[in-house]
Amino acid sequence: MTDHHPERRDADGLRAFEKHCDRRNGTARLIDARMPELARCLTLFQYVQAVTGGPVARIEQTGGYALPSLRGEAFAVQPGSIALRVDGGAVASAVVVRDEGGIGTVALRLLDADGRTMHQGRLLSDGDRLLVGLARTADAGTLVDTGTPAAGASPVPEVPAWESGDQLAQLDAILVDGGIARRGEFNRYRGEHRAIDVTVVPEVLDHVCSTGLPIGVAVFAPAAMQACGGRLHVTDRTVGGQVFAAMADSSFQLDLPGVRACHLVRSLAAHGPTSAIELDDEDGRCVAVITQFGIVGEPVHTAWEHLAASLPDA
């Protein structure tokens, strides 16, 4: 969904994008991309196909949004809800794209300053398509100034340093730049970490699927993270290296040949030190994390840690 080498776009580019949609018998409209206005807008929708990711990793989930969170805020993955976390200052615009031809699809896309898609939510119900018409609009000729909080917004919370931070601090560091700066100075990390063999990832997914061990998966796009959790009910892989896993109303797709590095990182979480499998692309960006989120119960946490400890070094 995300092009990691896009042509840079500014406000003129967004206007050109709107004209392009008009030529295709469709419309595009900018809405207020500031928090908390944007968060309130997303939680109005009841039935959405939410997609985050890029060429290497992708997550897709249907349902309604939980309240999206910003870096530094609390974060939870709840069954049946779409968990989205963003770097609020990087959301340059929010665009509602309506295709009046064909089946009349409507999608809301969050874009960064370079025009890259951070996240897309395709509205699947007629009610949601009507609700999006009530969303607060922005001036179509300018990018939203995300540095100015919307009325009633709380101050941006301080983000803990990843070098000595917990699991959430590690995820937030990845949100900034894909974790490139963090990975480049990972010798400063005070927790346990080691490079592991990336080829074992399909076996890990197969194992947790067959044993019923629930896991959490987070996928990253520029300045956005979407996460889900639960038991896998099916896994698959193709000859070309595409890996698929499905849990409840979510699906996870991984292009294994596109993963150039894999690290096992332990950081403090709800049950104590918790391992996470971090998958990096060829540019050194972390594209996905497989771990345990929140309170999962001590037996689940112990089983996951035993599995993580058995993974071979790179």
CA–CA separation, 76 vs 295, rounded Å?
A: 10
What is the pLDDT confidence band of residue 107, given thresholds at 50, 70 and 90?
A: very high
By C-alpha distance, which of 41, 46, 93, 94 is closest to 68?
Answer: 41
* pLDDT given at position 135: 75
3-state DSSP call for residue 157? coil
Contacts of 230 by beta carbon, 8 Å cutoff, 6+ apart: 79, 214, 215, 247, 248, 250
* CA 168 to the chain's CA centroid: 14
pTM of full prediction above 0.75 = yes
* pLDDT given at position 154: 52
Whole-angstrom CA distances from 217 to 57, 66, 145, 211, 230 are 11, 16, 31, 17, 9
DSSP 8-class letter at 256: G
Span 126-137, mean pLDDT? 81
3-state DSSP call for residue 1? coil
* pLDDT given at position 136: 74
Residue % of the chain over a pLDDT of 90: 70
Q: Cβ-count burial of 178 within 10 angstroms (0-12 exposed, 13-18 middle, 19+ buried)?
A: buried
Span 281-287, mean pLDDT? 97
Question: Which amino acid appears at position 18 of this protein?
Answer: E
CA–CA separation, 122 vs 237, rounded Å?
A: 26
CA–CA separation, 314 vs 197, rounded Å?
A: 4
CA–CA separation, 24 vs 63, rounded Å?
A: 28
